[in-house]
A and B are shown apart, each in its own frame.
Chain A
Amino acid sequence: MSDEAGARAGYEAASRAFIEAAGIPDPDASALSDTHTGPMLDQRRTTLRGLRAEGKVIRYPTPSQYRIEIEAATIDGQVARLTVCVIDDGQRVAAGQSSVEPGAVTTVQGRAAMQRIEGVWKLAERTEENRWDGVAGCAE
């Protein structure tokens, strides 16, 4: 697998790990530290602690429109920088709620930095560049 393909796969794995942890929510999920590092690992855990404190989880409707499009990737040694476009229809609901109806959909464009640690690409940082209601903007 090329570096770029590895970084892309690492980003997607990080997203999946967070979504899984947020469905519990479990700030100590090992999959988080397997796929995240640095400030983003701290932020993910803090968010999950916030969800737990408020008795909430993140759920996605079935079918979900959630989708990741990695628009660009550059590799610089052990660091990869990605431009991502994410269609996100996740909702934060009471923990006892097992399913959600389709609701608000948001499209977010952001930049992400992946760091390769012991051969594994992990999500280290991420910033939001733009946000649209619905499937719009970078997703069009």
Chain B
Amino acid sequence: MRRVAAALLLSSLVHLSPPSALAAPGPGGEFGTDQTATGELLGGDTAEVVAREGRDLGPQDRARRGGGDVVCRLYDDAQPDRALGPDDFGPDVYGKPVQVLRVCTDRDTGEYVDTDILTVTPPLPGAFVDPRRLAVMARSRLPLPLPSARMNPAGEQTVNVDSWLWVDNWEPQTRSATAGGVTTVVVATPVEQRWTFGSPSEKKVCADAGTPYDLSRPASEQSTTCSYTFRHSSAGQPNSAYRVSVTLVWRVTWTSNIGASGDLGFVSRTATIPTRVAEHQALNDSGRGQ
């Protein structure tokens, strides 16, 4: 059993510490990603609370570029310059607390995501990190694009005619974080697109991506569950257009290779589309097809 644990740890350390990763320059100066710390003065929330509320993911109306998977390297804090290997966690230290310096970087961008000092107790690889904490790190690297929202007809809409609604980038996003043999995978799965059409009461919620309207096919052969019918023209609105907003909502869940899993709640991004709506007579053929 101990050999298995040591082998697992060895393989993870070999995987986690490629020399090229250490030699490569990385961004992250005085205000690098790891250069934050909060307590009572700014609201001493745990990383989990911050993640649940989404505050670490920036404003809802701005896309987040995200990054890559997170990899962490481990060092003996008492003897820096030396990465920890399986020999450091042999049977002679089982059950004895060891202070470990953990440095976590984004594999794609080189950004320093987190640097922390942990007290761990061998032999369990899982003792190196709380997998939920890893999940929070991985979550911080998720790219969160604004919804690529589409309507048919494109451009101006027509009163009393169904406008088809869909989102082109209804795609799950995945990132992982690995430390000391523990890997947590975070998946953000789109669950909802929420549309409002100029006022909060005029809304439509769709639980799928919607169906793109195919201009090459007859309207009678197509259908959608995600559409909206404007009842009033946008004349009289500022710039003669409704401010249509589209919010794409993801649910974030995580799993790990040590059996633990969980839910980090919802995140969303909102785009606004100025939309003109005109009144046209005798144009209702119950389909689209512009």
A contact set with B: CB distance below 8 Å: 15, 18-19, 22, 38-40, 42-44, 46-47, 49-50, 52-56, 58, 60, 66, 79, 81, 86, 88-94, 97, 100, 103-104, 106, 108, 110-113, 115, 124-131, 133
Contact = CB atoms under 8 A, between A and B. Distances in A.
A40 B34 CA distance: 11
Contact of A60 (B26, B29, B35, B37): B29
Interface stretch (B111-119, B157-165, B216-224, B273-281): B111-119
Nearest to A36: B37
Given A43-B34, A53-B103, A66-B30, 6 more contacts: A49-B77, A54-B103, A88-B31, A91-B27, A126-B36, A128-B56
B42 A111 contact: yes
B236 interface: no
B238 interface: no
Contact of A104 (B27, B37, B62, B77): B27
B42 to A, nearest CB: 5
A7 to B, nearest CB: 12
Contacts, number: 138
Interface string B52-92: 00001011001001000000010101001111000000000
B31 A108 contact: yes
B38 interface: yes
B31 A110 contact: yes
Contacts of B77: 49, 53
Contact-residue size bin, chain B (C-beta under 8 Å from the other chain): 35 or more
B289 interface: no
Contacts of A46: 101, 115-117
Dominant secondary structure of chain B at its interface with chain A: loop
Contacts of A66: 29-30
A39 B35 CA distance: 11
A50 B112 contact: yes
The 4 closest A-B pairs by CB, nearest first: A90-B29, A113-B41, A39-B37, A43-B37
A50 to B, nearest CB: 4
Contacts of B110: 92
A115 B39 CA distance: 12
Contact of B41 (A43, A50, A81, A100): A81
28 contacts: A38-B37, A39-B38, A40-B37, A46-B101, A47-B115, A49-B77, A49-B117, A50-B75, A50-B103, A53-B75, A53-B82, A58-B30, A60-B29, A79-B41, A88-B29, A88-B31, A90-B29, A90-B30, A92-B32, A92-B112, A110-B31, A124-B41, A125-B42, A127-B36, A128-B31, A128-B36, A128-B56, A130-B59
B31 A49 contact: no
Contacts of A129: 58
A56 B138 CA distance: 24
A100 B111 CA distance: 17
Nearest to A60: B29
A126 B26 contact: no
A47 B34 contact: yes
